Amino acid sequence: MIPFSVLDLSPVAEGQTPSDALAASARLAQRAETLGYKRFWLAEHHNMPGIASAATSVVIGHVAGATKTIRVGSGGVMLPNHAPLVIAEQFGTLDALYPGRIDLGLGRAPGTDMLTARALRRDLQASAENFPNDVVELMMLLGPEDPARKINAVPGTGSNVPVWLLGSSLYSAQLAAMLGLPFAFASHFAPDALMQAISIYRDNFRPSEHLEAPYVMVGVMAAAAETDSEARYLFTSAQQQFVNLRRGTPGRTPPPVEDMDTIWSAGEKAGVEHTFTYALVGAPDTIAAKAEKFLRDTDADELIVSLPVYDFAKRMHALELIAGVRDRLSRKAA
């Protein structure tokens, strides 16, 4: 069975507070755990009114503390925003609190707009250029203790928290292959380079102490409901958010609407629909057919699903329906 996982941004819906969003993330993770999802990842975004997971390691601790067995991690931490030692200490602490359940997914994008990125990084170019060295330094700090090393992550050293590289282009695919790390591609919002990135990663993969063979995770947005029409209606919240983001006016998750043509232009529609090329939107039969083709085309080892549904009860129901799709595909493959 190909594992299914969840990518959650702790979405703050219109009329709600970050406290509401963070409580909802914990409840969603608890249900994901009972449904057999493998991981529950949270992502670092800044200056986004609709996302409450900016302090990602703190939210991971919140979610891990509310669950018992599901792996919890970052999808991802934007490493150039931080010193490797700080992240090693944070994730070493998480591993000490929740042993064997923490993942560390790393990205090199700022996770925000350029103005905010400058407030975070100060030197944008140097931060991005140092990414490969920072990844190696971070893995060293999480790895075995070295008596000759003068600086150690405490907690962190010896924890061997699994490190993933995340990407939406070819760069991280090449680096993940070179370092022998698992690779997650952000096909939920960046479909164009997916197939080429997977090919580059697999063709150039070097086995390492961390991973013997390539391991690929692919991402999709999803909105599942009892009917295709209801799912398309629910998905208009995500479509509105991306329109607002492209317009430079990000906000909280809006309620769904009956007709997106009253909101977006023809150009915006084309752009958003392209962004969501691989989105799983529909009733279970519709989602199963599209998911089966997507997993066959990518030959992915794992699928991670983001559920940008405004109403929490309907988001929870979508999580349940997609778990049913996973089980159906598993039985079919067997």
Residue 58's nearest CA partner among 106, 25, 30 is: 25
Question: Are 241 and 139 within one domain?
Answer: no
Q: Give the separation between CA 101 and CA 117, rounded to whole angstroms.
A: 30
> Same structural domain for residues 144 and 205?
yes
Q: pLDDT tens digits for 77-131?
A: 999 889 999 999 999 999 999 999 999 999 987 666 777 777 776 576 666 688 9
Other Cβ atoms less than 10 A from the Cβ of 230: the count is 16
Q: What is the pLDDT of residue 126?
A: 65
What does the pLDDT read at residue 1? 83
Same domain as 131, residue 153: yes
Asked if 280 and 220 count as a contact pair (C-beta separation under 8 A), the reply is yes
Residue count of the chain, please give it: 334
114 with 41, same domain?
A: yes
> Looking at the structure, do residues 77 and 195 belong to the same domain, yes or no?
yes
Domain encompassing residue 279:
218-295+322-334
pLDDT in tens, 98-111: 999 999 999 987 66
| Four-CA torsion 146, 151, 157, 161, nearest 10 degrees | -120
Asked whether residue 212 falls in the same domain as residue 135, the answer is yes
Nearest to 109 by CA among 82, 81, 88: 81
pLDDT number for residue 127: 67
pLDDT value of position 159: 97
Residue 179 sits in the same domain as residue 279: no
Q: For residue range 15-45, list pLDDT tens digits in order.
A: 999 999 999 999 999 999 999 999 999 999 9
Nearest to 282 by CA among 327, 209, 221: 221
- The answer to pTM > 0.85 is yes
Same-domain status, 128 and 150: yes
108 three-class SS: coil
Comparing C-alpha atoms, which of 118, 112, 115, 121 is closest to residue 50? 112
Q: Are residues 302 and 333 in the same domain?
A: no
How many structural domains comprise the chain?
2
Residues of the chain with pLDDT under 50: none
**Amino acid making up residue 112:** T
